[in-house]
Amino acid sequence: MAFAAKRCFPALFFLFRATSPGFCTAALAGAPGGSFWENLALRANSHHCELCRTSPQSAEKGAPHYHQGPSWRLKLRSVIAAMQESGNFAELLGQGHVYQFGVFSGWTMGLLRRVFGRTCLVGFDSFEGLPEEADGTAGWTPGLFNSGDIRDMLADQLDSVGRCKTRFVKGFFNTSLTIGLKDEMKLQPALYIDIDVDLYISSIQALDFMFASGLVQVGTLISYDDWWVIPCWHNSTNVFDDGEPQAHLEIARKYGVRFNCVSGPCKYISEAPGGFFGRCTIHNGWGPVFQVVEIGTDHFDTGFTMSPADISRWEARNYECIEMEQASKNKS
């Protein structure tokens, strides 16, 4: 979505430089168990905090402490660095693909190319706007975000720095995500899946295809750009009632998935001085990022650990959430 997400405010940047590199790690040190997955998340957080601490004060969108709109994805660099250091994801990091569901203008896909370098990208979009489910959904209407057929232009631009051809699958997901698509396109396991499709129906179709095709593996990263849109619009703490969160919950239940929150607002860091807003932590920003820890378990876990009270505090201080709530009131 086009709503900004700026968490480490440049005006407070002197706090970052005056604090030791490990302050963010300390804020997360209370994670229970000290498991491999929690330690990986801590390492990613430490990478991000070091970038935040050492970067010059800047209003540039690419700065680690400045997450304007879709650029919250830049924090994925720190997660990838932690995965590389762990020594456990060589095949996924070396051969895995990046999948984006919801390409729109291609700006975000260009950003993903910056994050993942020469990794192969596959984009899925109708290029005709939102499907019919959007009718009656707050803020969205069928056909919204129609970007036209820009696939060739995007592929040419992105392939100039890629190791393999950037590919696009055109069509609404209920018809384009076919059983034979994996073999037909020689799709590889997913290193990262970017869900930016706004609606529940599109989200569940995308996720179900990826899991049913065996493209999701332990270690795969999945993020959601519109996770907070519906809760913020309705000023609600019932996150899993609709949209992308509902699809995430249902897919975790269906495939017995355990997720771990590795970046973004899926874990509330109240232990850090100032929480999300006083210091730069990897759990600021707009879009939550989850890592697949286990598939096929009887005890699924969404990885989302924010309580209703945490959600209320976050919504009350997140300025794009405040903007959405105000827009909702103005429309009613």
Which of 54-63, 94-103, 164-173, 280-289 has the least mean pLDDT?
Answer: 54-63
How many whole angstroms separate alpha carbon 73 and alpha carbon 46?
A: 16
**Is the per-residue pLDDT at 65 higher than 70?**
no
What is d(CA 141, CA 132) in angstroms, rounded to the nearest whole number?
8
Is the whole-model pTM more than 0.75? yes
pLDDT reported for residue 150 = 53
Name the nearest CA neighbour of 175 among 201, 195, 137: 201
Pick the CATH number of 90-218 from 3.30.1360.40, 3.40.50.150, 3.40.190.10, 1.10.760.10: 3.40.50.150
* Beta-sheet pairing, 257-263 with 221-224: unpaired
Q: CA-CA distances (angstroms) from residue 52 to 12, 273, 302?
A: 11, 16, 28
Q: Which residues pair with residue 294 across a beta bridge?
A: 258
For the purposes of burial, counting CB atoms within 10 Å of the CB of 133, is it exposed (0-12), middle (13-18) or buried (19 or more)? Answer: middle
Using the CB atoms, write b or e for 285-318: b if 16+ within 10 Å: bbbbbbbbbebeeeebbbbbebeeebbebbbeeb
Confidence band, pLDDT 50/70/90 cuts, at residue 59: very low
- Crossing angle of helices 36-54 and 76-86, rounded to 10°: 130
Domain ranges of the chain: 1-66+235-332, 90-218
80 has a pLDDT exceeding 50: yes
Q: Residue 301 carries which DSSP code?
A: B
pLDDT in tens, 238-262: 999 999 999 999 999 999 999 999 9
Q: CA-based angle 107:9:225, to the nearest 5?
A: 35
Per-residue pLDDT tens over the stretch 150-160: 555 555 555 54
